Each structure stands twice: as C-alpha cells, then as structure tokens.
Structure 1
Amino acid sequence: MLTDRAVVTEAYTVIPRGVLRDIVTSNFPGWSGTRAWILAKPVQGFATTFAQYLVEIAPGGGSPHPEPETGVQSVLFLLAGRLNLTIAGTEHHLEPGGYAYLPAGTDWSLTNPGQQPASFSWIRKPYEPAEGITPPAPFVTREQDITPTPMPDTDGTWATTRFVDPDDLAHDMHVNIVTFQPGAVIPFAETHVMEHGLYVLQGKAVYRLNDDWVEVHEGDFLWLRAFCPQACYAGGPGPFRYLLYKDVNRQIRLT
C-alpha cells in the first residue's frame, strides 16, 4: 500500500524522509565512502536554478575535488557528525550547525575525520556575474553564532538566520534558516519570483502550497517553483525550522 506523503506537481514537490532509502542513493566520481540523495536538479517541470543534495560521508571518506564545474558555487550546512573542510590550503573544522559558502572556482576539499558518519546539505548553483560587482569570497561560520532576525509584525515568532547580508549584491543566492515557534504562521500567501529548496531541520508544520495543505516534518524536502503561493502553520510542540534556498539579486534574463 502506498501511504506516504510524496507529491510531485508542476508548482511544488514534497519528498518525505521516509522515501530517502538505500535504493535511491547516488555515488559521485572522485568521492570515497560517500553516498547522496539528490533532492533537486534542473529538469523540465522541476528546479530551474539549483541542485540540492543530502550527503552522507563515512569515517575517513570525502573528496579532494568535490566540485566538477568551475562556474558553480556551493553552500554546505552540516547536519550531523564532523567534517574537515579545506579552502585554498586552510583547514576548517565543521560541527553540526556549521555553514560554508564556496564561490565558483574555489579550491576546496572535504573529509570526515570522525568515528561516525557525517551528513550535510549541499546546495549548488551556477554563479551569475554582474557588471561592476566583485564576486563574493568564501567564508565559514556557525548557525549558533548568528542572531536570528525577527520578521516584521510577528512578535518574534517567525525569524530568519541570515548568513549573508540581503543587500550584498555580490551574492546571487541566499541560504538561510527559518524558524517558527509553535503556533506561528506565515500570515499571507507569499507569491514571489524566488524559487525555493526547503529542507526541514526540526519540528513539524502544515504548509499551504498552491491550492493544497501538506504535512511536513524533520527530514522532509520541499521544492517550490517561482510564484507558487505558499503559507505555513507551525504545529508544535517545539520550534519548526528549515534550511531555505532562494535565488536573489539578479535581473531577469530575456535574451
């Protein structure tokens, strides 16, 4: 019997954590001890601007050259375990909540030095240069070191952890963490040009997507096309949190 919550439509997709099983993993050239669940990629009727993976690296595994395309930028967000990330010869030690932005053309490598598997979200997008704007530099930070910004008129029940200044035009994508306290809502149907990848980090909620209400919880992934109406109600008993991708800060190309 098919009783899970997987949904694929032209406006949105829900990939529940229950379908992310061993038989749907992918292996990547140049990686050892690694498997990945590909959650989004540019295909007709699906994601158009980005790719997103859930990646698991066994102890001692990793890659000396993870990114095969010179024009592609990445964001890594560590979910569990430990990772050593080397950027242009400088080593960084990531623990859960660790976040790294890696510009297109960056020389980087990744290994798991721990005794347990490490898992992380990997978001990739081609970088769109803009005239007169210097491309951004790589950086590594932690979610725990950033104070969430409350959304207007929500009394702090809806807040966003921003890793990049929204006014920095060097960045053409943002990957943030959105947090709703129990009972908090998106109080209107957002309808905007940004495409979303949404990986649920904690809690549960009901999401309004186009004409439908869908139940989501920790480990689920959602893709939302541009202009898909969206709203949310956090059901509790704890916070509802997700990692959110969106494309930003560029003119619409017509030719």
Structure 2
Amino acid sequence: MGVKIDGHQVINPSGFTGRELEIKLCISMTGEKNNESVGVEGGSIRAHILSHSEDIDHGYYIEIKEDMSHIFSITDEKIAHLNSFNWGRQNLDKAVRDKLDLDNDVAYSIYAQYADGKVSEKMDRFLGRIFWASFGEFVNALLMNVRNEGALKLKEVPPVYVSADFILPEQIFRRRYPLGKKYISLKKSPTKLDIEGFLEDGIHGIYEDLNELAKRRIKWATPSR
C-alpha cells in the first residue's frame, strides 16, 4: 500500500537508489466463527483511504452495518482490523419494534424520522430513550475494544471515525464518552470513500501529488546518457 526510500514516499521504487527501502502492505485477514466468515477487506481499504484524506497518524475507523460493527485501528505503520461485534441497524429496529409493537420497516421509518430530527418534542424524548439505551451497547463494545488496544496508555485517546449504512442522530457526534479518566469523541466519516476510484486510478486522485513528486525523483535518480 506504500513505498518509501530513505523516508521519502514514492509510487514506484524502480530506478531509485538509497540505503533503506520501506514497504507498507495492507493485508486483510479474518477468522471464521460458527462457519461464518466476516468480510473486512473493504473496510481495510476505506480505513486506508480515510487515513490519507484526513491525515490520521493514529485513530480508529468503525463501520456499522445491518447487524455487525467492524473496528479498524489506524497508525502510521499499519491498518488493522481490531474486532467485530453484534450491533447494527437491526438492534435499533428491534428496540423500537419492542416498544411500539410494529414491523421492521415501520419501526425503522419511525426511527429514521427521529434521527433526522423530524418528530415532535414529546416523541423525540420517547424515541431518544429507546435509541440511547440501544446505542449504549455499541458504545460499551467500542470502549472495550479501544481500551484493550491500549488507548489509555496514550496522552489523548485518538479520534474514532464512524461510518454507518443508515442514518444516525447528529447528537452522537456532539457527546464525549468516558473511558477511564479520559474521553472519546466520535467523528463522522467522509460521505464517500471511493474504493473503485482507489483501485482503478491509484496514481491519480489521492496519490496525484505523490506521483508527480516520484516522477521528478526518478528523473533525478536516472543517470543521463
């Protein structure tokens, strides 16, 4: 996923000379549990794109799906899949459905109106209690994984970027969540992390500046005839 020669980022090391070659790879691996594999390859690539677009040296990226959440650790050395746990849109559907005795589609429709701030003040309080009770399960799992990864040893807990396949209330990005004597803040991930563009046009887009720099360095490093 990246090459450096003597600490300088290059696109293609061919033609360069130097003392130290550093190669960064992005390898996605997942175990199997109950004969069900967890696909995290796309999340690893999106975490990599996010780390470059937001200039993240240390942080976390989490994707929330229908019934699962996947956490990735971002450092300047690697992108790693930390864990996956059972929490997603289906948990919210069930929480609303249990309180209002509705089917899944109607339950989610009502939740979406709440998340978008389009309900009455009374309904906002009612649905808010349901949402935060369920979302608390997500927060607890997130905090446990971040704690286990060693975040408490750092001076400040790195930011956590959140991407979901469904709408989430803006309030979750305004709160701070306690982790020991420290706090975690959630940040909204950029709307589009384009994997297809990354794969098909890697030397342009986010790598355009690096590519031009690499071309100049290759020219300098190539002996003239």
Higher strand share: 1
Greater helix proportion: 2
- Measured against the shorter chain, the TM-score band is under 0.3
When normalised by structure 1's length, the TM-score is: 0.24
| Higher Cα radius of gyration | 2
